[in-house]
């Protein structure tokens, strides 16, 4: 099939893009990488009146250090982000998760912001933003605002973004140098959306967990913060961490569902196992060091 007819706009500034979105009255769709949008257009599952191409906006690209964190431009290609030294140094959990997004070919076109803004519940990048405590910067002709990633997602492919709003940046707060990375996912094939997955970071001080940020993907209608597991880990000495108990607490926060890929029970069972295994391996590696 071919897309339905639409007008095409390629703004060169955030202000121009916001103006076009406002004038479209909800009939515009933003395109950056197009890895999800193009199939939807071809299938006519998305039929915008105006396609707003943001690739010409320099302010939406790039990675920079800001006070207390690292800011990622939403239009940066996933492959570029994977090769960035700043991200490798300050956000190893981000880089680890990004390496599992799609395939080499799709990462050459796909953007970080596109993945974050789409809200696919089984995708790595939305969960990473939630786990690491990222803040999403949003602009419109009405002004700007920031939203914590944990409050950004409302349901499958549903976010707090209004039709006239544009994601202009994602700011990930600093984690101490040497912090530990948690990541594990189970998928039918490499590059597929995960049947179940987890991502997060841990900080150790004095032989105990002093900071934790963990989130699930593929375990509910949105990325889900594993708050009970975080609470169980905080202040706990390594020798006293009960990986199985923490895993059960982590799964208790989830809301998995049945679909044609896997059942909710499968997701709970596998989720508990990969959580416990990932936690053991991460803490054992740290202890051995």
Q: Please give the C-alpha separations between residue 34 and each of 5, 66, 103, 201, 288, in angstroms, as whole numbers.
A: 17, 28, 14, 30, 44
Task: Please give the Cα distance from 235 to 252 (Å, whole number).
Answer: 20
Under 8 Å CB-to-CB from 250, ≥6 apart: which residues? 198, 214, 216, 226, 228, 229, 271, 272, 275
Sign of CA dihedral 210, 248, 157, 260: positive
Average pLDDT of span 190-201 = 94
pLDDT for position 287: 52
Is the pLDDT score of 289 beyond 90? no
pLDDT tens for residues 140-181? 999 999 999 999 999 999 999 999 999 999 999 999 999 999
Structural domains present in the chain: 7-53 (3.30.43.10), 58-173 (3.30.465.10), 180-288 (3.30.390.50)
The backbone torsions φ and ψ at residue 204, rounded to the nearest 5 degrees and listed phi first, read: -110, 135
Highest mean pLDDT among 37-41, 43-47, 194-198: 194-198
pLDDT tens for residues 229-286? 999 999 999 989 999 999 999 999 999 999 999 999 999 999 999 999 999 999 884 5
Task: Please give the Cα distance from 22 to 44 (Å, whole number).
Answer: 23
pLDDT for position 27: 94
Q: For residue 265, count CB atoms less than 10 angstroms from its CB and return exposed for 0-12, middle for 13-18, buried for 19 or more.
A: exposed
Task: Place 288 in a pLDDT band, splitting at 50, 70 and 90.
Answer: very low
pLDDT for position 286: 54
Task: Place 14 in a pLDDT band, splitting at 50, 70 and 90.
Answer: very high
Task: Place 1 in a pLDDT band, splitting at 50, 70 and 90.
Answer: low
The residues facing 137 across adjacent strands are: 146, 169
Under 8 Å CB-to-CB from 132, ≥6 apart: which residues? 91, 93, 94, 172, 173, 175, 200, 201, 213
DSSP strands (E only) in the chain: 7-9, 28-31, 50-53, 63-66, 69-72, 135-140, 143-148, 153-155, 158-159, 166-173, 180-186, 196-205, 208-217, 224-225
pLDDT tens for residues 42-99? 888 888 889 999 999 999 999 999 999 999 999 999 999 999 999 999 999 999 999 9
pTM as predicted: 0.95
The backbone torsions φ and ψ at residue 9, rounded to the nearest 5 degrees and listed phi first, read: -130, 140
pLDDT tens for residues 197-220? 999 999 999 999 999 999 999 999
pLDDT tens for residues 119-128? 999 999 999 9
């Amino acid at each position: 099939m071919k897309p339905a007819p639409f007008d095409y706009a390629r703004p060169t500034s955030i202000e121009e893009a916001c103006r076009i979105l406002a004038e479209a009255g909800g009939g515009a769709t933003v395109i950056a990488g197009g890895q999800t949008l193009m199939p939807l257009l071809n299938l006519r599952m998305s039929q915008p009146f105006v396609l707003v191409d943001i690739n010409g906006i320099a302010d939406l690209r790039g990675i920079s250090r800001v006070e207390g964190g690292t800011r990622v431009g939403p239009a940066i290609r996933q492959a570029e982000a994977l090769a960035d030294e700043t991200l490798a140094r300050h956000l190893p959990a981000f880089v680890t998760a990004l390496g599992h997004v799609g395939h080499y070919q799709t990462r050459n076109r796909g953007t970080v912001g596109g993945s974050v803004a789409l809200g696919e519940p089984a995708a790595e990048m939305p969960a990473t933003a939630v786990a690491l405590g990222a803040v999403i910067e949003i602009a419109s002709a009405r002004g700007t605002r920031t939203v914590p990633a944990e409050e950004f997602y409302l349901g499958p492919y549903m976010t707090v973004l209004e039709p006239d709003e544009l994601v202009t940046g994602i700011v990930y707060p600093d984690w101490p140098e040497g912090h530990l990375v948690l990541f594990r996912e189970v998928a039918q094939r490499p590059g597929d959306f995960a049947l179940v997955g987890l991502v997060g970071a841990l900080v150790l001080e004095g032989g105990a967990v002093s900071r934790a940020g963990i989130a699930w993907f593929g375990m509910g209608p949105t990325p889900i913060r594993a708050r009970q597991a975080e609470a169980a880990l905080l202040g706990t000495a390594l020798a006293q961490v009960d990986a199985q108990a923490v895993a059960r607490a982590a799964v208790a926060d989830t809301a998995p569902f049945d679909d044609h890929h896997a059942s909710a029970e499968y997701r709970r069972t596998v989720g508990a196992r990969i959580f416990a295994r990932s936690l053991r391996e991460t803490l054992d590696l740290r202890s051995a060091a």
